A and B are shown apart, each in its own frame.
Chain A
Amino acid sequence: MGANSAHPNTAHPPEPGDAALTPPTAPVHDFRALALLLGAALALLLLWTTVVPFDKGPDEAEHYRVAHFIYTNGRLPVFAPDGDMYGYVVNREEAFISYASVPGFNYVLAALAMRIAPGGEPYAPLYAARLVSALCVLITVYLAYRTGRLLVPDRPNVALGAALLLVLIPQVSLTGAYVNQDAYTMAVSSWSLYLLLAGWRHGWTFSRAAWLGLALGLVLLGRLNGYVILPFALLVAGLSLRGSVGYALARLFTAGGVAAAVSGWWFVRSYLQTGDPIGIQANLTAWRALAPLRTTPREDGLSLLDVLRGDTPYLVFRTFWGAFGQLEVYFLWPYYALLGAFSLTAALGLAWGGGRWLIGAGRSRAVAQWRQRRFEAFQPAALVLLGLLALGMTALVFWQSWATSFATQGRYLFPAIVPIALLIMLGFAALPLGKTLRPLAQGAALAFLFVLNLIGLFAYTVPAYYL
């Protein structure tokens, strides 16, 4: 894709300072570790994929219904009461609304995999569709490694640790194990983030802008919570595009044009069919029709603050780290307490490292470096922006929990999972523990998640449904 090239495309004159953004020592990939990482991650994801029973991931049956329709009919389903898919009533407050109304390119990919897979119904198509989720998580693991190498090239173990941590989060493993939109959205959002940071660091060539357009187009064809990447992309573009107005506009139009070409067809189709380009209004109309007594916290007269003071943050926290089945099997609370301590330790490490950087010569030096467009300034700025993205995603989840009553789920943070994993590993790497204890803390953090992952799979999921 050209995103990893050390220098911008020479077909266009490089912008002043672009070369300076590349650190003096180009990153050397630890190919052996990377290969082992991807192999082990694939093995772990396949274990989860084969053990999780059908419809024991959130709404898998509804997701699979859309993929299976495309697989058998060779076209997208029409969302309408008299169309191919709409929804059905559970009771006056509960309904299942088809995912056919919202963008879902992941279903097309799943249907393609189902066509290719050898073997017949029922297992081969299902596991082929699930494999798309597993591969999306695998791609995210790879992108976490690449993003880590891009941001902290002098600390390859942080990149490796972040990628490993990502796949060891039990909820991420589960997300790679059933048919859903989250895995796809996670992968394309992570790709967009990587390309944005690569463009910032190495400079914006036409080629890089076009790749970013493709990635953003794929984001637009995924779950709506991934759309938060779009304002982030504009922010990064505003910070990193240098040179003449024409130079900047040309790249913006390139990225925007490719994104529109990739995804525009969906919005036109949706508008023609439902009168709503995104489809969310059609979805809400279906909810009102099929579950008229369903209310959101906002409709109940609660404020966003009320929701934040209630159980919502804890529920988001638990469903970010690990909640299994149709969100009906939870770890016992001490595990979440340990995960809370784990998160707090990483946050303290980040605060300690950031504080040292601010108090030391870092801040004043960074200003000068920023003016010179040096890599040393790009690194903290990018990390701060990624942190803001993670916080923004969290705020969005809370807002959705208030405005809609079905968004209280931590996996909706997964479009920002790469920044979150990187910041956690950086937090552990910055702990003031000395040269002997710090690696032990990093290793212990990963070992803890590894054991938790196995417990989630073999001691919670398996006993709950099989053995």
Chain B
Amino acid sequence: MLHRLLILLGILAAAALWAGFGWHVFGQRHVIPYDPPVRCLHVALPIAPGHVMTQTFAGRAPGLSGVALAFRTTAAAAVAVELHAHDAQGAATPLAAATLPLPANHPFYTVHVVFPSQAESDGKTYSVRLRRPADTGADAANLGAAPLAWSCWSDGFAHGELYVDGDPAHGDLYFQPLYGRGAADAARAVTDRFQGIRVGIVPAWFWWLGLIVVLLVIPSLAVRAAGGRLGSPPHIVALLVVLPLVGLAMSWGDPRLHRPAVHANAAAPPRAASSAPAAPQLLHALRQQAVGSIAPQETWDRQLTFALEPATAADGTPRLVLRASVNTTVAWRDVTIPANALLTVRADGDLGRWTPDDGPIAVGMTVAVDGQELVTEREILITAAGEAREFIRQLDLAAYAGRALDLTLTTQGDTRNSARLVVWSDLRLR
């Protein structure tokens, strides 16, 4: 009798623990805001003082309760985030605001901004606004310290638009809306998924049955494989209790599932427009038209394909630099050439990070007009002996004034240390 009671209690405990595990994993769902999925070509965009980056998106479920954002930083910085709801006429109502402290030198810092759940969020239009806090206006001269927001150059990542200072910009911000929900909603979402893919006469409950079979039979087989008795209730119940605990322990330390969040205020105070000086026009123009490709070796956690970074030249003038890992292709499509244009490409290997084991680092450059290559060159930037060489090419584009050009930069080099070794290109178009 006691034996049966213990088994019953064990089953109840196992059920509760599995429910807890499910709640922990599914309690807050992350929605990649696109449909159908497209591959995101990651590009980091500078959040320059005085500028506002706005991404609109449509709520796809009730209970919008947060936004996950990703940043790249060179120096410790702060970014102000605001969430607005938009009515049918486009009028914006501030919902929440927060200031995110960002650590220095982080290649891919993700942060959850959470706010009170929006019950009626399904189908409504929202916007996320990013800008530097007003008190960093004095930072304007130090453009190199600006934090960068990861975005996707593939337009269509989100059901919405990216705007910079109110003007439509290429691509979309890389972000994920978060929706809080109960366990029943989570279960229903999975059932809906199963229902959507039913094949022939297979009903949705079949998949739930499959899940139950998996949960019950595999632990029993594990017990058997460990030398125990197949179908032994005490062993199975013990394992069924232990498994969700293992799962919880594993997932608890996983920031993907259990991420620290920044809590936003319930309402965003209205803010005056910053009077900080505008970023270089070139930065804005090129930012609009860049596309990038991911080298085949790059992986999810290293999709740091390239970044357009504002920096300050020695003479104090702001300029644009391209920071790219080796084996990266960056292309600017359909750049309209101004009158008397001179394209300057300057590249340097980062000798400070180079070691003899890294081998030679080279950069290649291709400039094409309407698909026809004008220049294709490849130059060693750091030789195998550690000698640094300068790569400067100037191309007079006056003959193409008013036409659209494709400019492609290809960096090639040793893949062993692609995370450490970088190539800097200084692009100027005057």
B contacts with A: majority SS: mixed
User: If A94-B296, A458-B25 touch, does A467 touch B414 (CB 8 Å cutoff)?
Assistant: no
CA distance A161 to B227 in the complex (A): 10
**Chain B residues closer than 8 Å to A465, beta-carbon distance:** 32, 37
User: Is A123 a contact partner of B25 (Cβ separation < 8 A)?
Assistant: no
B30 near A451: Cβ-Cβ < 8 Å:
no
CA A465 – CA B227 in complex, angstroms? 39
Contact B222 A447 (CB under 8 A): yes
> Looking at the complex, which one of A43, A307, A408 makes contact with B214 (CB distance below 8 Å)?
A43
* Contact call B219/A123, Cβ cutoff below 8 A: no
Identify which of B47-55, B205-213, B339-347, B391-399 touches chain A: B205-213
Q: Chain A residues with Cβ under 8 A from B415's Cβ?
A: 297, 300, 302, 310-311
**Residue count of chain B within 8 Å CB distance of chain A:** 71
Whether B197 lies near A50 (C-beta < 8 A) is yes
CA distance A315 to B408 in the complex (A): 29
- Judged by a CB distance under 8 angstroms, whether A264 is at the interface is no
Judge whether B220 and A36 touch: CB under 8 Å.
yes
**Is A50 touching B226 in the complex (CB atoms < 8 A)?**
no
Which of A75-83, A215-223, A330-338, A365-373 lies at the binding interface? A330-338
Residue of A nearest to B366 (CB): A92
Q: How far is the CB of B234 from chain A (nearest CB, A)?
A: 13
Segment among A226-234, A343-351, A438-446 that sits at the interface with chain B: A438-446
Q: Are B193 and A47 in touch, CB under 8 angstroms?
A: no
Residue B151 lies at the interface, judged by CB distance under 8 Å to chain A: no
Contact segment of B80-88, B99-107, B246-254: B246-254
CB contacts under 8 Å to B, within A321-340, are 323, 326-330, 332, 334-335, 338
Taking a contact as CB atoms closer than 8 A, the residue among A295, A338, A439, A463 that contacts B226 in the complex is A439
Known: A157-B224, A332-B255, A459-B257. A164 touches B414 (CB 8 A): no
Number of interface residues of A (CB under 8 A): 81
At the interface, yes or no: B325 with Cβ under 8 Å from chain A?
Answer: no
Indicate if B401 sits at the interface (CB-CB under 8 A): no
> How far, in angstroms, from A302 to B412 measured CA to CA in the complex?
12
**Contact, CB under 8 Å: A36 / B250:** no
Looking at the complex, which one of B30, B247, B357 makes contact with A467 (CB distance below 8 Å)? B30
- Is B239 in contact with chain A by the CB < 8 A criterion? yes
Binary per-residue interface labels of chain B (241-285) against chain A in the complex, 1 for a CB within 8 Å, 0 otherwise: 011001100110111110000000000000000000000000000
- Asked if B25 and A157 sit within 8 Å, CB to CB, the answer is no
Q: Are B221 and A405 in contact (CB under 8 A)?
A: no
B124: Cβ under 8 A from any A Cβ: no
**Contact A306–B359 (Cβ < 8 Å):** yes
The DSSP consensus for interface residues of chain A is helix
Q: In chain A, what residue has the closest Cβ to B364?
A: A293
Q: Are B199 and A127 in contact (CB under 8 A)?
A: yes
A332–B255 Cα gap in the complex (Å)? Answer: 8
Q: Chain A nearest CB: distance from B163 CB in Å?
A: 27
A-B CB pair tally, cutoff 8 Å: 201
Given contacts A44-B214, A119-B199, A329-B300, contact A310 B226 (CB under 8 A): no
**Do the beta carbons of B412 and A295 come within 8 Å of each other?**
yes
| Residues of chain A contacted by B199 (CB below 8 angstroms) | 117, 119, 123-124, 127-128
Residue-wise, chain B 180-199 has the 8 Å CB interface mask toward A (1 for contact) of: 00000010011001100111
Given A306-B359, A442-B226: A451 and B213 interface contact (C-beta under 8 Å): no
Are B194's CB and A50's CB within 8 A?
yes
Chain B nearest CB from A310 CB (Å) reads 4
A431–B219 CA distance with the chains assembled, in angstroms: 21
- Given A302-B414, A443-B239, A467-B29, also A93-B295 (CB < 8 A): yes
Is B217 in the interface zone, CB < 8 Å from A? yes
* B300:A40 contact, CB within 8 angstroms: no
Q: Counting CB contacts under 8 A, is B356 at the interface?
A: no
Known contacts A297-B415, A447-B246, A451-B246; is-contact A33 B224 (Cβ 8 Å)? yes
Asked if B210 contacts A442 (CB within 8 A), the reply is no
Q: Check if A161 sits within 8 Å of B225, measured CB to CB.
A: yes
Do A405 and B296 touch (CB < 8 A)?
A: yes
Q: Which 8 A-B pairs have the closest CB atoms?
A: A161-B225, A443-B226, A310-B416, A40-B217, A43-B210, A446-B222, A439-B226, A467-B29
Residue pairs across A and B with Cβ atoms less than 8 A apart, 30 shown, are A30-B224, A36-B217, A40-B221, A44-B210, A44-B214, A53-B37, A92-B329, A92-B408, A117-B199, A128-B199, A157-B226, A160-B225, A161-B222, A164-B218, A164-B222, A295-B412, A301-B360, A306-B359, A323-B299, A405-B297, A425-B225, A447-B242, A447-B243, A447-B246, A448-B246, A451-B247, A459-B25, A463-B256, A465-B37, A466-B189
- List A residues at the B interface (Cβ < 8 Å): 30, 32-33, 36-37, 39-40, 43-44, 46-47, 50-51, 53, 55-56, 90-94, 117-119, 123-124, 127-128, 157-158, 160-161, 164, 168, 293, 295, 297, 300-302, 306-307, 309-311, 315, 323, 326-330, 332, 334-335, 338, 405-406, 408, 425, 439-440, 442-443, 446-448, 450-452, 454-455, 458-460, 462-467
A-B contacts besides A92-B408, A93-B329, A327-B299, 10 pairs, CB < 8 Å:
A30-B224, A55-B37, A157-B225, A160-B224, A161-B225, A161-B226, A315-B299, A446-B221, A455-B251, A463-B256
